[in-house]
Amino acid sequence: MVGFGGAISRRGLIAGAAATAVAQPVLAAPASAPMAAPGAPSGAASTAWTHEKYVTAMRESGRPVNQTQAQFDAIQARKPAAMKRIEAYLKQHLGSADPAVMAAFEAVPRDYFHYYYESHQATPGDAYEETPKPWALGYGSALSDYLGQAYMTQICQPKPGDVTLEIGTGSGFQSSLLSRIVTQAYSIEIIKPLGEAVSKIFAPIGYDNVHTRVGDGYYGWPEVAGGFDIVIVTCAAQYAPPELFKQIKPGGRMIIPIGQPMKRGQVLYVYTKDAEGKIHSKRDMGVFFIPMTGAMQKLPPPPPGTGQGAGQGAMASPAKVEPAKAEPAKSTTE
C-alpha cells in the first residue's frame, strides 16, 4: 500500500526514496557448502531457513552476497512481530486471518526477495520492518509491503489444487506465497531485465511450482490448459482485459485495480465467474497503483455490453467508477 489510506501498490512510485534505504548492500560472496532445498511441496511448510541456506540460495540465483550470521539472526528476530502485525491487520480488515495465508507467510523467507536488481545489491536488512512499506527493486518496480500482500492474498481465497496467474511478477514474493497454498502459480512480468533475473530465484529454494515468463500480462497466459482459478493483477488497469476473463475458470476469480493512471479514485475490484460463465463484479476498496503498461495503454476498451472486459462492470471513467472509501490502514503500504 502506498500514498493514502489503505492504498496498495507494487511498482515504483517510491523507487527513488526506497533505493536510498538499502540497509545491507552486499556484493561477492565466498562459496559455501551445498544446501538442502528449503522449499516444500505446495501447501506444506518449508524446512528451517538458515544463514547457510540463505547465502547458498542467493549465490545459486545469481545474486551472491556477504552476510554475517549475526546480521541474519537480527533480521529473523523481527519476523515474529511482523507475523503478529499481519494477523492483526487481516482480522481488522477481513474479520479473520486465514491459517493458510499465515502459514504461507511463515514459510516464505521474505529477506530472500529484498534485492535491488538494477545495481545488484541485496537488501535483506529491510525485511520485516516495523512500519511496513514498499521497497525498490529497480527498473521502476517495487516489492509491496507485507500487509498489502497479505490482504491481496487472502481476498484471492487460494486453496490447494488451485492454479493461479499473477500479472506483474515484481520480486516474485506474491507468487511464492500463493505457491505454498496452490498447486501451480504462474506469473508474467513486462519488464524484461527484471523478469529474467527473478525467474532464477525460485529453483534454489525449491519452489518448483512457480512458473514465470516475460511478456504483456494484458493477454494472460492462454497456453496454460484449463485456465486459472485465480488471476491477481498488481497494477492499475483502465478496464479489465478481455483475455483475462476468458482464462478464468468457472467458479474462479480475478482481483484487479481499476482506475485512471496515476490518479486517485482507483478501486480494487473482485470479479467472479459463475458455473454458466457469467461474470459478477464487487467493489472492494479504494487503492492507488501505478499503471498497467503495454497493450493496456494502446488498445481501446471493448464496447460496453459486449461481455468483454470493461463491459463486465468497471471502466476507468468518472461516470463508471466512483472513488471508494478506503479502509484505514495501519501502515503506508506485492
The DSSP annotation for 80-122 comes to: HHHHHHHHHHHHHHHSS--HHHHHHHHHS-GGGG-EETTTTEE
Average pLDDT for 210-230: 97
Task: Give phi and psi for 250, each to the nearest 5.
Answer: -55, 130
40-49, 60-69, 124-133: least confident range: 40-49
Whether the CB-CB separation of 23 and 123 falls below 8 Å is answered with yes
Long-range contacts of 34-39 (CB under 8 A, 24+ apart): 37/205, 37/206, 38/109, 38/205, 38/206, 39/205, 39/206, 39/207, 39/208
Contacts of 228 (CB under 8 A, 6+ apart): 163, 164, 165, 186, 220, 221, 247, 248, 249, 252
Among residues 9, 141, 144, 331, which one is catalytic? 144
pTM (global) more than 0.85: no
202 pLDDT more than 50: yes
Q: How far is CA 20 from CA 111, 119, 130, 221, 298, in A?
A: 17, 12, 18, 35, 33
Q: Mind listing the pLDDT tens digit for each residue in 149-196?
A: 999 999 999 999 999 999 999 999 999 999 999 999 999 999 999 999
Cα gap 43→107, rounded to integer Å? 10
106-115, 166-175, 293-302, 310-319: least confident range: 310-319
Average pLDDT for 310-333: 38
With cut-offs at 50, 70 and 90, classify the pLDDT of residue 224: very high
310 pLDDT more than 80: no
pLDDT at residue 314, as a whole number: 52
Q: Identify whether 144 is a catalytic site residue.
A: yes
Closest CA relative to residue 330, chosen from 201, 146, 170: 146
pLDDT at residue 95, as a whole number: 98
269's enclosing H/E stretch is strand 266-273
56-60, 116-120, 215-219, 291-295: least confident range: 291-295
Q: Mind listing the pLDDT tens digit for each residue in 3-26?
A: 323 444 444 333 333 333 333 334
pLDDT above 70 covers a percentage of the chain that reads: 76
* Burial of 231 (C-beta count, 10 Å sphere; 0-12/13-18/19+): buried
pLDDT at residue 330, as a whole number: 34
